[in-house]
Amino acid sequence: MVDSSPASAPAVDALSWASRRGMGALAEKMGMRFVEFSIDRCVATMPVEGNTQPVGLMHGGAYVVLGESLGSMAANLHAGEGRLAVGVDINATHTRSATSGVVTGVCTPVHLGLSITVHEIVVTDDQGRRCSTVRITNHIIDRPTR
């Protein structure tokens, strides 16, 4: 399946593109949902329940999966038709632990180049408190032909 990217399209079209494309099987299992999607800002939510450590805290890896899903999707939107963004670096700093409710990831671009993108994803809890900051770098390549 080849997805065309509406990189210059309005936010509604980009959200439609992202919803059709989906975030992938892992993101679906974790309960992620798109809220907003554009070149300048992507937002998704994820429930804490089902994504916790044995002691009931949101798993740090779950924050990273949310961040990588948003950042990679945003980079692919920027890449445009015939190109593909692939992750080359990710890091996260966890500053708070959500224990219930829903977390929200807000992804904004730091750099949108021809071959490299960098996005920052801030993950907050239901009270708007920052729980994690994720930064992802993607390399943009030509989509391989099959």
Residues catalogued as catalytic: 68
Please provide residue 65's backbone torsions phi and psi, each rounded to the nearest 5 degrees. -60, -45
DSSP label at 82?
A: T
What angle in degrees, to the nearest 10, is found between the helix axes of 11-21 and 60-79?
120
CA distances from residue 143 to 36, 39, 45, 74, 120 in whole angstroms, order as listed: 25, 20, 29, 16, 24
- Identify whether the C-beta of residue 119 lies closer than 8 Å to the C-beta of residue 76: no
Residue that is written with structure tokens 């950042």 in the block: 71
